[in-house]
Structure 1
């Protein structure tokens, strides 16, 4: 692999960053809100799954309260 001059490397990096399509503030906010919604849904799902499995295991092992 050929070694690159550090100055040349920085120029190439600058050229590549100009090609990047950066998201707008609105796109960033929408994506952030979507992530929080998905995290909340996953949290509820795993809470319910954990509660249901805990209940089933306690019934099977006979340690359920009655």
Structure 2
């Protein structure tokens, strides 16, 4: 690996950073809201699945117990 000049390295980093397309404020807010909605839906889904499994096991163990 070649050792490069620190000034040249910083210039290359600045050139690469200038190519990045940064999201707008609206895009960030929208995706953040969508993440919270999806996390909430997943939490509700798994809570319902957990309740169903627990109820089924209690019924099964009550039948055989």
Give the match for residue 59 of structure 1: 59
| Structure 1 gap ranges (5+) | none
RMSD between aligned residues? 1.5
Separation in 2, partners of 1:44, 1:55: 16
Q: What is the deviation of 1:60?
A: 1.7
> Is the aligned partner of 1:2 residue 2:2?
yes
In the TM superposition, residue 59 of structure 1 has moved relative to its aligned partner by: 1.5
With the length of structure 1 as denominator, give the TM-score of the two structures.
0.83
Partner of 1:45: 45
5+ residue gaps in structure 2?
A: none
**When you count helix as a share of all residues, which structure comes out higher?**
2
Count of residue correspondences: 63
